[in-house]
Amino acid sequence: MEIHLAYKKYPYKMTLNACKVFFEQTGLDLQTVFLKYISEAANSKGLSVADRLIAFSELYSRDVACKALHCMIKEENKSIPMEEIQDGTYRVGWMASDRDDDMSEPWSMVMVTTALQVHEYFSENLNIKKPDTSEG
């Protein structure tokens, strides 16, 4: 899975550790944060693009979004500093891009896209069981 932000691709993983670090930083549950973006995407389908972006942006601050993205990106590449993610979310602005790629969408749309990827990941891997580590 990749996060596309300001013309950079960031591989990431949704892991228990990412969830723990995010909770330590924010007091919020990472999965619930992404679930709210999915819910808002479904509930705002009839709105204009600008109104949808406002709705997404009002769910959580850009700071919370940066922490969410960074916690997952660090699971793949520990050398990416938080400042890089903060700069990327700032540079893409707040309005949807008219470009054909998805490399410069506003941070709130990146959160929606990432939420949908996380949902797909969990849906596809739900049947994979955790190894039994108990001694029997």
pLDDT in tens, 105-135: 899 999 999 999 999 988 887 776 666 666 6
The ranges assigned to domains in the chain are 2-125
Two tokens, residue 102: 């998805």
List residues bridging with 8 in a β-sheet: 5
CA distance 112 to 80: 21
pLDDT tens-digit series, residues 5-46: 998 999 999 999 999 999 999 999 999 999 999 999 999 999
pTM: 0.87
Two tokens, residue 118: 């996380």
Two tokens, residue 82: 């938080």
- Give the sign of the dihedral formed by CA 94, CA 54, CA 58, CA 19: negative
The candidate with the shortest Cα–Cα distance to 80, out of 27, 18, 33, 16, is 18
